[in-house]
Chain A
Amino acid sequence: EAQVTQNPRYLITVTGKKLTVTCSQNMNHEYMSWYRQDPGLGLRQIYYSMNVEVTDKGDVPEGYKVSRKEKRNFPLILESPSPNQTSLYFCASSTQPGQGAGELFFGEGSRLTVL
């Protein structure tokens, strides 16, 4: 089954404790992206990757890191989480982002709470 898998789905952590949210896709997509979703603000892009070893900042990259060492994996790293990073996070992948065949496939989401 074609899917994007994120882990963990739910996490409560404390300020400053490094954490990683993993994302893996099995559709051989070149493009992957991380979003955060907060009430009233919609989806905001954190980082994206057009291909292996290529990553770029989105609209809200501060406090986050990513890596793309393999095509299928795109982990999101919070080196020192803060309460303002409490949010719902989505990983997504696509063949041709922003184009006709470029619909995004989203993971199920990771709800993160930073105390």
Chain B
Amino acid sequence: GQNIDQPTEMTATEGAIVQINCTYQTSGFNGLFWYQQHAGEAPTFLSYNVLDGLEEKGRFSSFLSRSKGYSYLLLKELQMKDSASYLCAVSDSNYQLIWGAGTKLIIKP
């Protein structure tokens, strides 16, 4: 079966750096997405990786290793507004998105 794993919850301190991991086993691979979802709101797109390596976008970076079935989202200089759930989703061989359950990130002052 297809499976996406990410930690349920993480806690970090304002101003610090946090890495949210995502491992996947899917039928084919056409890219990996990260979305941010604040409580009670809709998910919003953060990043897309289809090739191995690191993609940097401001304070957020996303890394992919296709051979390991692994990705991470790196958040630097954490701010209170970064408190949210972070969803990992993989596009399979049919371009259908397989979603992880999400990682709830709690930022403490």
Contact = CB atoms under 8 A, between A and B. Distances in A.
A49 to B, nearest CB: 13
**Overall SS of chain A's interface:** loop
Contacts of B95: 96-99, 102
B43 A90 contact: yes
Interface in B36-69: 40-45, 48, 50
A90 B42 contact: yes
Interface in B62-84: none
A108 interface: yes
Interface string B67-109: 0000000000000000000010101101111011110000000
B31 interface: yes
Contacts of A97: 91, 95-97
Nearest to B49: A100
Contacts of A102: 91, 95
Given A43-B99, A98-B95, 13 more contacts: A42-B102, A96-B95, A97-B96, A97-B97, A98-B31, A98-B92, A98-B96, A98-B97, A100-B48, A103-B33, A104-B35, A108-B41, A109-B42
Interface of A: 40-45, 90, 96-100, 102-109
